[in-house]
Structure 1
Amino acid sequence: MHSVAEALDRLTGLAESPTVATLAAAFDAAGFELSLVGGPVRDAFLDRSTNDLDFTTDATPDEILAVVKPIAEAHWDIGREFGTIGAKIHGHTVEITTYRADEYDGASRKPEVAFGTSLVDDLERRDFTVNALALRLPRLELVDPSGGVEDLIARVLRTPSKPEVSFGDDPLRMMRAARFASQLGFEVEPDTLAAMFALAPEIDRISAERVRDELSKLLLTDTPMRGIRLLVDSGIAARVLPEIPALMLEIDEHHHHKDVYEHSLTVLDQAIDYEASRGRLDSPDLVLRLAALLHDIGKPATRRLEPGGAVSFHHHDMVGAKLARKRLRALRFDNDTIKAVSRLIELHLRFFGYTDGAWTDSAVRRYVRDAGDQLERLHILTRADVTTRNRRKADRLGFAYDDLEERIARLAEEEELAAVRPELDGQQIMAALGVRPGPVVGEAYKFLLDVRLDEGPIGPDAARERLLAWWAERQAAAPGA
């Protein structure tokens, strides 16, 4: 962390940048207050880079627009009802928000938006003291009414007002505490933590969309494990993502199995490491991280205690995929994310049969075909799912997966494996068989796809011969033939 003097020097440099200086001069000339607020100020003390430039002002949204229009390359008012105007100035996107003095009725899912006139009042209504910092522009005065700098130094999260009041006003702040604990590596101060435990049921007031967005932000931090533990321990996860605390399966003295909850957190952690080291995905990758966290949520429902002390979880992959679809829909995730996450969970055990005996080329092709555009994520999830402390077993699985990836690469080079499809398309199938569009074309297509997967490329002429032979057998077997 920077010293206060170093942080102020950094903030001074930011204030002198063309974007900030232009905004500051324009608002000052118009007679309005303007302050850089929140994340950019906090991150200056933490020596963290920031891409966001957030400002607050006593100007109303209409007045903000009047000031920024002459100096902005573009502007938008999509957040106008909440007092926020966006603009692009000198190539940088900024958001300027009118001071807030929101009122909460303790029951609705959203606050009654009200605009204020005081910077200090606005800061004291924010979520945590470390975010309740502002730099007045253009005179460069640091405003810290709640001791945010001291909390930055101590690396703690604390609410500016009493936590019961702050969380009662907006229960989503409890999830933000988990996110900032992960993002900043801070501890939640004891009174604030106690309020999270006590007020966990209040999260039910928050819309699924807001919960989804906050959960996604947590998962996209560098180390989400800390925040997930906080959500589970406080009881919040039991209300927004109950499948995760449900992974804490009871382990008795006669039946032993791996701690599924701890295993899942470790898989998430390892998936993040692979995501970064392999460099083949846009990082951070939400789909991969959701799949890693949720990959074993089918285990509680499929747990069976076997004779002799063994524990089985037969078909937990299929059950888990179904549970993931249901939960992600409830949280209003988009269809593409739901489809990708559930498919990865469904396939995450497929590789482990590879070590039982050599896969044929046909099996490798089917693995790639079934993974589709999720193949790279499946590679990472499968590798991350190895959490055994047995070094020999871990090495054996790692070497086996290395071999599988090498075979996939070799076949892909030889056969354009990523685009595996029959060697005759639908039109060619109809022409060969003399049939019109209908179910039989789909059956023929599937037959040719199986041939392609089992045998590799055989050429269009050979594929047509095989198709005609299949069709003749089918016709001969038809009733009344």
Structure 2
Amino acid sequence: MAAALDGLGAVLDPLAQRFAAAGFELALVGGSVRDALLGRSMPDLDFTTDARPDDIERLIVGWADAHWDIGRKFGTIGLRKDGYQIEITTYRTDAYAGDSRNPEVAFGTSLDEDLVRRDFTIGAMAVRLPGRVFVDPFGGMEDLEAGRIRTPGTPETSFGDDPLRMMRAARFVSQLGFEAAPEVVAAMREMAGRIEIISAERVRDELVKLMCGARPWDGVDLLVATGIADTVLPEVAGLRLERDEHHRHKDVYQHSLTVLRQAVELEARYAAAQEAAGLDADDPQRLAPPDFAVRFAALMHDVGKPATRRFEPGGAVTFYHHDVVGAKLTRARMRALRFDKDTIATVSRLVELHLRFYGYGEAGWTDSAVRRYVTDAGAQLTRLHILTRSDVTTRNRRKAERLAFAYDDLEARIAALAERERLEAIRPDLDGTQIMAILGIGPGRAVGRAYAHLLEQRMEHGPLGPKRAEEALRQWWAQQPEAQA
């Protein structure tokens, strides 16, 4: 940790001297200390102090490159200095009263009082400044070395103060690869219902961080096992109902976790391949791992199965149209969690399309079908590649190899067609202005219908060129009621 702190000396030392000269305490705290001990990058720095917000602001004005006070009512002043995002917060305590969705904040008077209110022991460590004295009253270092998530006080007290900490425990399981201590898991299970008082926006933000961790499947599994997912992701929790004692079909819940794990692995490989190929950073297909959309689609892709399960004569189990139903359920859940429209559209579209590939290897696809696959996927084509490949979890090696070969072939055909036709931007060979000029008509619905017809011809036959496109347009027009008038 000493080396990490030395690297921050240009920020830590002058800031600490300002507070000390004014008679205030200052300590680096929480995730900043944890990350320093883990050797992780530290672009964000958190400090705590006995100074009140007005005093904090007075001390940093003129030194900070910029500052803001949006968190003033919670005791926090934010600032930027030499590229670091910094938050300085007055010692405090906070808790949720009854069914309130917002914590009640009270300022504290000591560092120890501030540390005991923190979520977990690995975040309840501090470094007093300017002397750089390490403070660890609750054994955070030991838990960090053991890979354990534990609370400074009782977990019941910690989760009672802020129920979102239960989701944060699952997030750290995902991000750090740690395990929650048995008493933490027991308290999460006992208090799972308290998560209902937390705002959808705060739940969403924790969920995104969990899904973007190194092992999101472990974090999700903890939410499901403790019953928290019954509230925040009931569709995922509901997949456990698909276990079949007669083994007539796979365990859909465990399958979904496996798909998620495989998507994380493939995400990194596709991103590396794009980097090696020199794909432009602003290309809509460019991935920037961790990619929440592809990961959440992998988790949610089969949530339509419980509603569509049917037992057929002879013991077969079917899930017809679970892709469409799953997309609707995914869209509804993400709206409830207050996701933005673009993210909702991306994830739900991936869920809807995740079965589109199946049948390619057996029946074969025409070039027209390949074009439609690419056009339907649009900017999500790379994500769809990842999701489709990740959805193969069969233990039958021959079947897995056959599916992998078929998808390799599909990707190769997509690349070949794109090279010939610039497939990513399929448009009719004639635009609206040209259509109106050829047919001698003005703007109206007929132009839109003509455009759609030419697009259909483009999809079916590939580029026609202006001459053949005009012939096709005139043949179509001759059959339209407007041409007979």
**TM-score class normalised by the smaller sequence:** over 0.9
Q: Which of 433, 440, 453 pairs up with 2:446?
A: 440
- Return the match for 1:121 from 113, 134, 156: 113
Query: CA contact under 8 A between 1:255 and 1:309: conserved in structure 2?
Result: no
1:13 pairs, out of 6, 25, 43, with: 6
Partner of 1:241: 233
Question: TM-score, length-normalised on structure 2?
Answer: 0.94
Q: What residue is the counterpart of 1:146 in the other structure?
A: 138
Partner of 2:300: 294
Asked if the contact 2:50–2:90 (Cα under 8 Å) also holds between the matched residues in 1, the reply is yes
Contact 2:46 2:87 in 1 (8 A): yes
Q: Contact 1:369–1:420 (CA<8 Å) still a contact in 2?
A: yes
Structure 2 SS opposite 1:248: helix
Match of residue 267 from structure 1: 259
1:49 aligns with one of 17, 41, 55: 41
Distance 2:95 2:193 in 1: 21
CA distance in structure 1 between the aligned counterparts of 2:334 and 2:107, rounded to whole angstroms = 35
Change (3 A) 1:252 1:117: closer
TM-score, normalised with respect to structure 1 = 0.94
What corresponds to 1:282 in structure 2? 288
User: Once the 2 structures are TM-superposed, how far is the Cα of residue 100 of structure 1 from its aligned partner?
Assistant: 1.3
Q: For residues 289-314 of structure 1, give each alpha carbon's deviation from its aligned partner in whole angstroms, at most 9, with x where no partner exists.
A: 11000001111111111111211110
Distance 1:477 1:178, change over 3 A: same
Question: Where does residue 379 of structure 1 map in the other structure?
Answer: 385
Distance verdict in 2 for CA 1:134–1:254, change over 3 Å: closer
AA aligned opposite 2:170: A
Of the three residues 344, 351, 354, the one matched with 1:348 is: 354
Letter in 1 for 2:181: E
Q: Which residue of 2 aligns with 1:303?
A: 309
Deviation at 1:477, TM superposition (A): 9.2
Contact 2:95 2:160 in 1 (8 A): no
Give deviations 1:195-214, integer Å, cap 9, x for gaps: 11100011110111111111
Between stretches 466-475 and 290-299, larger displacement belongs to 466-475
1:257 paired with 2:249, answer yes
- Show the counterpart of 1:184: 176
Cα gap change, 1:433 to 1:257, in 2 (>3 Å): same
Aligned to 1:337: 343
Asked if 1 retains the 8 angstrom alpha-carbon contact of 2:374 and 2:381, the reply is yes
In the TM superposition, residue 44 of structure 1 has moved relative to its aligned partner by 2.7
- Summarize the alignment of residues 29-428 of structure 1 with structure 2, pairs less than 5 Å apart: 29-252=21-244, 256-279=248-271, 280=274, 281-428=287-434
Change in CA separation of 1:255 and 1:93 when aligned onto 2, cut-off 3 Å: closer
Look up the match of 1:4: none
Secondary structure of the 2:296 match is helix
In 1, Cα distance between the equivalents of 2:216 and 2:372? 34
Q: State the Cα distance separating 1:224 from its structure 2 match.
A: 0.8
Q: Once superposed, what is the RMSD of the aligned Cα atoms?
A: 1.7
**Cα drift, residue 442 of structure 1:** 1.9
Structure 1: tracts of 5 or more residues without a match: 1-6
CA distance in 2, matches of 1:208, 1:94: 26
Displaced runs of 4+ in structure 1, greater than 6 A?
none
Tell me which amino acid in the other structure corresponds to 1:59.
Answer: A
| Cα distance between partner residues in 1 of 2:40 and 2:432 | 56
| Deviation of 1:116 (Å) | 2.0
Q: 1:235: Cα distance to partner?
A: 0.4
Separation (CA, whole Å) in 1 of partners of 2:253 and 2:395? 16
Unpaired runs of 5+ in structure 2? Answer: 275-286
CA distances 1:24-74 after superposition (whole Å, capped 9, x unpaired) = 222222322111111121123333333321111112222222211211222
Alpha-carbon distance in 2 for matches of 1:474, 1:104: 67
Letter in 2 for 1:408: I
| Distance in 2 separating the partners of 1:477 and 1:424 | 19
**Does the 8 Å contact 2:173/2:215 carry over to 1?**
no
> How far off its partner does 1:232 sit?
0.3
Aligned-residue offset at 1:11: 4.9
What is the distance in 2 between the residues matched to 1:22 and 1:294?
Answer: 49
Paired amino acid for 2:210: L
Aligned 8 A contact 1:36 1:56 in 2 = yes
Tell whether the 8 Å contact from 2:95 to 2:162 is kept in structure 1 after alignment: no
Helix, strand or coil: the match of 1:435? coil
- After TM superposition, give the deviation of residue 112 of structure 1 in Å: 1.5
CA contact (8 A) 2:125 2:140 kept: yes
Instruction: Please name the residue that 1:431 is paired with.
Output: 437
User: What displacement does 1:419 show?
Assistant: 0.3
